[in-house]
Amino acid sequence: MSMKTIRCNALKKILSLLAECALVTCYKYDEMDSGAARDAVTASDVMEAGQKSGGFDRVYADYDGNDELIKISVGIHANYFFTGYRTKDAAKAALTPEAFAKYFPVDVTSPEPEAVAPVEAEPIPNHYEAKQAERKARYEARAAQASTASDMTYKRARSMASVIPFGQPIHIGHHSERSDRNYRGKIHNTFGKAFALADTAKHYADKAESVGTGGISSDDPDAVRKLSIQLVKMEEEQAMMKKVNALVRKKDVKGIEALGFSPEAAANLLTKDFAGRIGYPSYRLTNNNANIKRVKDRIAALQKLAERVSIEQAGAGYTYKEDTDENRVMFIFEGKPDEQTRKILKNNAFKWSPNRDGKPWVRQLTNAGLWAGKQVREALDKLALQASEVA
């Protein structure tokens, strides 16, 4: 185990380390040896206490042999001392059994629980769903970090402003005028930073909320199954609308109610709308039928793509791949391609993917992507041929 000293003004790092902890406790220096019960606090509480006290006095972090955080200790002058334990095991090793049971009551030794009926296990997410979940969690973490920073910055600005009596003007011509203007400017800028951080938090919160709401992706290995379920619902809705419209034309209220509609809903179907139509309007059937065709075509296209096998071919200064697992058309280069090559790739909607093996330029494996890959290969081979003729 090794101990490292952390700069007291490295607020972001301190907040990040505290946020990792499963437990953060607080006690006063004069209670250090008294055995007094320690209160559990949050990372935000620690940062707020440091701000109110004018900063931290000392910050230490203990790491294990793998450079993983074990605990962090934060002191605030002669007032408070905070200790954050990254895991339950770390807290259990440092605390008495009574103290540990207070913070983690579920870990207290108790009689064997009564047998409960087995529950059906949740389906294991595929790699695409796991990737989406990680992306959502990443955005949520960024939103939480920005929100915490915004609250701390706003409180700091309020604290700075509180030293100026309400309504006190700047004394023009006084020796304090310049420093007063500068101080008020700092207050204004600090408030601005707080509001900007709040906007950043909202931005990432919105991005997290939107993850997974864009429909069924072709990258999803279960896309065909999910689209098939969607197709069945659309076809059932189409059949229901046709059946209801047939009963509406007969003004058969009881027949409509027999399909599961309430008396009010059945009456509404027989009431003319603003255009004088009754039942389901024709555009709803037309639009739903068009969506049925679209989903069928997409299922067929995905099934056809699923029959393809991955290929890898060497070209003039590049490697061309059709990766069915990644669902991507790829161009891999040794090092960074020249500007003209990058322009050709960008003009054909290929994007650099530094997080994939080989750092390829990629595009989704669709008919359009395959055609674009063919165009890029022809252009790159032509460039290589011209370069060899010049040489």
pLDDT digits (tens, 9 = 90+) for 350-389: 999 998 899 999 999 988 999 999 999 999 999 999 888 8
CA of residue 368 relative to chain centroid, distance: 29
Q: 10 Å Cβ neighbour count for 136?
A: 16
Contact between 50 and 152 (Cβ < 8 Å): no
pLDDT exceeds cutoff 50 at 35: no
Nearest CA to 14 among 37, 45, 53, 38? Answer: 45
* pLDDT band, very low/low/confident/very high, at 257 (cuts 50, 70, 90): very high
What would the two tokens of residue 106 be?
A: 């579920």
pLDDT exceeds cutoff 60 at 30: no
Cβ burial 8-25 (10 Å sphere, 16+ → b, else e): beebeebbebbbebebbb
User: 1 or 339: which carries more pLDDT confidence?
Assistant: 339
Single-letter code of the amino acid located at 240: M
According to DSSP, the residues that pair with 313 across neighbouring strands are 320
Domain spanning 311-390 has what CATH number? 3.30.1360
Helix axes 177-210, 127-161, angle to 10 degrees: 160
pLDDT at 391: 67
CA diameter of the chain? 92
* Distance (Å, whole) CA 79 – CA 67: 30
Phi, psi of 84 (to 5 degrees): -110, 130
* Distance (Å, whole) CA 145 – CA 200: 10
Every domain of the chain and the residues it spans: 2-107, 127-161+181-210, 223-306, 311-390
What would the two tokens of residue 361 be?
A: 């330029």
Single-letter code of the amino acid located at 4: K
* Distance (Å, whole) CA 48 – CA 151: 9
* Distance (Å, whole) CA 309 – CA 289: 33
Q: Tell me the average pLDDT of the chain.
A: 86
The per-residue pLDDT for range 169-209, each reduced to its tens digit, is 999 999 999 999 999 999 999 999 999 999 999 999 999 99
Contact between 257 and 243 (Cβ < 8 Å): no
According to DSSP, the residues that pair with 60 across neighbouring strands are 5, 73
Question: Cα(first)–Cα(last) distance of the chain, in Å?
Answer: 61
The per-residue pLDDT for range 341-353, each reduced to its tens digit, is 999 999 999 999 9
pLDDT exceeds cutoff 60 at 109: no
pLDDT at 74: 81
Nearest CA to 76 among 42, 29, 38, 19? Answer: 29
**Full-model pTM:** 0.56
Cβ burial 39-73 (10 Å sphere, 16+ → b, else e): eebebeebbbbbbeeeebbebebbbeeeeebbbbe
pLDDT at 39: 73
* Percentage with pLDDT > 90 across the chain: 55
The per-residue pLDDT for range 129-170, each reduced to its tens digit, is 888 888 899 999 999 999 999 999 999 999 999 999 988 999
Place of tokens 């991005």: 207
